[in-house]
Amino acid sequence: MPKATLTPKQALRETVPPTVPDAVPQSYLKYKICVSGSAVTTTAKTGDYEKTVELGKEIIRQGGILVTGATTGVPYWAAIGAKQEGGISIGLSPAATELAHVKSYRLPTDNFDMIIYTGFDYSGRNLILTRASDAVITVCGRIGTLNEFTIAFEDNKPQGVLTDTGGMADMIKDIVERAHKGAGRVVYDNDPKRLVAKVIEMIKKEKVEVKDAQKYKRKNGAG
């Protein structure tokens, strides 16, 4: 009996495995959690350094990868914690090259496993940074931190705010209420461990939605 001829789409489906097969455990998919906060720490409160280092550690302990703007201050403190815990720290720089990152922007290169040089200055970097992450956690912060928060808010991204750290972190709840655009997907806590757990719970729910969409796509032959 002659073998049935497959259409190009059917042939592709026969030869290419699904993006995330059901049999493959999800444990290899690390949560990409961005820590956003003041590069200049004039708005930081006493104890913010210790809290932020602990935040970086908790992200690693709870199965995450730290993502930051490859800058000084709060994001750098989180990177210190992530590396002390033996985790992965990725930075997205506003600079176009390593030389510009160090010489022009005067930003650090230690406590990172990888730095991606976006070349889009701070505002463009902020957009890539938040969209490349599964969630964003705000600590302290000035106007650039608020910019990252609002981008993630508009994208309906899971977010956490480490309260009692000064700056924007202690203003965001009021700003959200006054903005009249709903509460967003934002959780608040003054404890790094609890905050990371809350954020990861939101990420997990989103991952389930993605997996369900992939199952539906395979079942119904969409693609």
- Phi, psi (deg, nearest 5) at residue 172: -60, -45
The pLDDT assigned to 6 comes to: 59
**What domains are there in the chain, each with its CATH number?**
30-220 (3.40.50.450)
Give the Cα separation of 197 and 194 in Å (integer): 5
What tokens does 172 get? 């965001």
| Residue 110, CA distances (Å) to 40, 49, 83, 98 in order | 18, 17, 10, 12
CB atoms within 10 A of CB 163: 17
User: pLDDT truncated to tens, each residue of the chain (223 aa)?
Assistant: 555 665 655 554 554 445 544 444 555 579 999 999 999 999 899 999 999 999 999 999 999 999 999 999 999 999 999 999 999 999 999 999 999 999 999 999 999 999 999 999 999 999 999 999 999 999 999 999 999 999 999 999 999 999 999 999 999 999 999 999 999 999 999 999 999 999 999 999 988 766 666 666 666 765 5
